[in-house]
Amino acid sequence: MKEEGVIAAEPMNGGGGAYSYKNNSYYQRTGSGVVKEMIDEAILEKLDVNKLTCGGSNAFNIVDMGSSVGPNTFIAMQNLVEAVSRKYQAETPSTKHLLEFKVHFNDRCTNDFNTLFASLPLKRKYFAMGVPGTFHGRLFPKLSLHLAYTSYALQWLSRSPDRCLDKNSPAWNKGRIHYARAAKGVQDAYAAQLGEDMDVFLGARAEELVPGGMMVLIIPGVPDKIPPSRLPNSLIYELMGSVLVDMAKRGVISEHQVDSFNLPLYTISPGDIEAAMERNQCFDIERLEMMSTVKAIGRPMDWQSITKHIRAGLETIISKHFGSHIIDELFELLCEKTGDNFEALEATYMDKNQLLVILKRK
C-alpha cells in the first residue's frame, strides 16, 4: 500500500482547558486585531454593499473559514458586521430596509462546534451557522457569499506531500517533520502542495462569492526571498523533530513513525499569493502586505507561551499519528529544548511576520 502524507483533518484543541485553543490563541487574536483598521478601510472603500444585497432578501452572508472554537472568531465577525453595516448606512442613508447578517463559522468536521455554539455572544447582531468541512473544497452553493474571511488557517496545507514518504524521492524527509530546514527536494514538494491547495481554495471561493464580493486573508507569512531555513517557526519544528528522533531512539515511538510524519504547515510569502492569483484570474488584489504583529503583542517573546500555542494547534494531529500518550513528554522535552536554544530561537525572530491579503471577486 502506498504511504500517504499527514492529512490535516485534525482540529485545534477543543474545550476550555489549560491547553485549549480557546485559552491559547492570544497571538492569533492580536494578529487579527492589527489589521482591523485596514479591513474596515477596504470595506468602506471597495465593497458595494447595497449593490451586493439589493433585490433579494437583504441578507449579507459572511464566512470565517477555519474559525476554530472562539473567542477570536467572535471578535473578528463582530468587527466585520459593524464595518459592513456602517458602509451600508453611508451608501443608503434614507433606507428603511435593515441589512440582516448570516455569519457562517467554518472548520473541519472534527472541530469542537459544541464549544463554539455554547460560546456564541448572546447579543450578537447576526444569525449564526456552523459549516463543517475543509475549505480546500466547496462549502457553499454558487454565488451565495458576500464576504469570506480567514485568519491563521491558510498556513495549513490540505496534507503533507506524499512524496516526502518515498525513500527513493529527493523529497524523502527522514528524521525531520517539516520542510523549512530540510533538503531542497522536500522544500519543493511542500511548495508544490501549497500551489495545489491555493488553486483549490481560490477556485472554490471564486464560485461561491458573488461578483464584487470580498475576501480577507490573514496568514502567518514571510517576506519574499527569505530562505526557508530562516522561517520564524523553522527552528522550533527542527527542535520538535529532534525530540521525536530522541524518543524513537529510546523506543517510545518507532523510527518509521517519525519518518512518516510531516507537519502539513507552510509559511506563505507575498510571491506565493501573487503566483496563485495569476493562475486563478478571478480576483483583483486590493491589498497584499507584510506587517508586524510584534508591537501589538506588547510583551517580550516568551517561549513557554509559544510552546503552549503550538501545543493547542498541533496536539490532535500529533496524537493521531503517534498516540496521545507521548504528548506530555514531547512538549515537556520541547520546552526544555527551547530553553536551551533561546538565543538561536531569538535569532529566527522576524519583524514582518503576518500577511494581509484583500481580494475582490471580478
Contacting positions for a second copy (CB under 8 A): 56-59, 100-102, 104, 109-110, 112-114, 117-118, 120, 127-133, 138-144, 210
Q: How far is the CB of 118 from a second copy (least distance, A)?
A: 6
- Cell numbers describing residue 242: 529532534
The rounded distance, in Å, linking the Cα atoms of 99 and 263 is 42
Phi, psi at 268, each rounded to 5°: -90, 140
CA distances (Å), 104 to each of 25, 39, 66, 330, in order?
A: 20, 18, 11, 35
Of 53 and 150, CB closest to a second copy: 53
Of 128 and 282, CB closest to a second copy: 128
Q: How far is the CB of 158 from a second copy (least distance, A)?
A: 17
Q: How far is the CB of 144 from a second copy (least distance, A)?
A: 5
Cβ neighbours of 198 (radius 10 Å): 22
Instruction: Give 318's contacts (C-beta < 8 A, 6+ positions apart).
Output: 261, 326, 327, 330
Q: How far is the CB of 8 from a second copy (least distance, A)?
A: 17
Of 1 and 122, CB closest to a second copy: 122
Strand extents, DSSP E, the chain: 59-65, 100-107, 127-132, 145-151, 209-220, 283-291, 354-361
Q: How far is the CB of 142 from a second copy (least distance, A)?
A: 5
Of 100 and 286, CB closest to a second copy: 100
The rounded distance, in Å, linking the Cα atoms of 42 and 51 is 16
Q: How far is the CB of 132 from a second copy (least distance, A)?
A: 4
Residue 240: strand, helix, or coil: helix
Of 127 and 342, CB closest to a second copy: 127
Exposure of 15 by Cβ count < 10 A (0-12 exposed, 13-18 middle, 19+ buried)?
middle
Of 41 and 48, CB closest to a second copy: 48
